[in-house]
Structure 1
Amino acid sequence: MTTVAEILRTKADGQVHAVEPSDTVLTALRRMADKGIGALLVMEGDQIAGIFTERDYARKMVLLGRSSGDTPVSEVMTRAVRFVRPTQSAEQCMALMTENRLRHLPVVEAGRVVGLVSIGDLVKSVISEQQFIIEQMELYITGVR
């Protein structure tokens, strides 16, 4: 069973990208586009204030006709942020994401953000683990060692 810590070690860009609550939505969108990501943590110092996602932008900005250049992230971010610990399994994360309709989970250890996992990260991990099991079973069945 793969843990969140193992998934974080395999990520090409393990950096957690963030904005401040007072930053504009346009600033957040530019950062997301520059980094090729779909979510940013909203941080006040070292504390999570919220998360800003593509879904927040679509539902709380575009559909309401708000201006990205004038709206602070704090007005449209998701404030209730679910998080996981590095010791939790990929399966536990996927269950939490499915139950709460989430695509991103911050990883917190000892009160500090140490990473962010996406549904894509988790699916990639599960597929890799399943592929390994299949290969091991094939070797066992064929007797090749």
Structure 2
Amino acid sequence: MAGKVRDIMTGSPVTVSPQDDIITVAKKMRDEDIGAVLVTDGGDLRGLVTDRDLVVRGLVQGGDLTKVDVGGVCSEATASVSPDDSLESAAKLMREHAVRRLPVVEDGRPVGIVSLGDLAIEKDEQSAVADISAAKPNV
């Protein structure tokens, strides 16, 4: 059984620039079949944007969506973990900050993402969250 974040995280995270427009980011998420990307500026983590953020904070603005920068709709990275942090530490941070995903940062640079689903699969594989997270995506 895994004990460290590095054992279950998704490595090589997809990143975007704060200046990227939300249409470009949405297409990248579609093409990569992912629901969240890290927002970086010069390699430094600035935030995280989810498919929900794109809709709730971006799409509703209307107008020319190619002029809506992802930096204005992303969530600030209020918490992150190290690859060597324990899974318990990651779960505690998710609970404290009420988030479903945590950026994984090493030497100041993002190296992965760990999700609530990743933790559920590892810690309680019989749970409904683990079942849903392990299921093949609908296409």
Write out per-residue CA displacement over residues 48-80 of structure 1, whole angstroms, 9 at most, x where no aligned residue.
122111232232124444653220111111124
Figure out how many residues of one structure are paired with residues of the other and give that number: 126
Query: 1:52-67 maps to which residues of 2 (within 5 A)?
Result: 52-65=49-62, 67=64
Q: Which runs of 5 or more residues in structure 1 are unaligned?
A: 129-145
Alignment of 1:15-34 (within 5 A): 15-34=12-31
- 1:23 deviates by 0.5
Matched, 1:110 2:111: no
* SS in structure 1 at match of 2:95: helix
Q: Runs of at least 4 residues of structure 1 off by over 6 A?
A: none
Distance 1:87 1:120 in 2: 19
Pick from 92, 95, 102: which aligns with 2:92? 95
TM-score computed with the length of structure 1 as normaliser: 0.75
Per the normalisation by structure 2, the TM-score is 0.78
User: How far apart, CA to CA, are the structure 2 residues paired with 1:105 and 1:84?
Assistant: 7
> Hey, what does 1:74 align to over in structure 2?
71
Q: Does residue 48 in structure 1 map to residue 39 in structure 2?
A: no
Aligned-residue sequence identity (percent) comes to: 36
3-state secondary structure, aligned to 1:55: helix
Structure-2 change in CA distance of 1:3 and 1:119 (3 Å): same
SS in 1 for 2:68: coil
Distance (Å, rounded) in 2 between the aligned partners of 1:122 and 1:3 = 11
Partners of 2:78 and 2:97 within 8 A in 1: no
Q: 2:124 is paired with a residue of what secondary structure?
A: helix
Q: C-alpha root-mean-square deviation of aligned residues, in Å?
A: 2.2
Bigger-Rg structure (1/2)? 1
| Contact 1:90–1:125 (Cα < 8 Å) also in 2 | no
Structure 2: 5+ residue stretches without partners: 126-139
* 1:120 equivalent in alignment to 2:117: yes
TM-superposed deviation, 1:22: 0.7
CA distance in 2 between counterparts of 1:25 and 1:53 reads 11
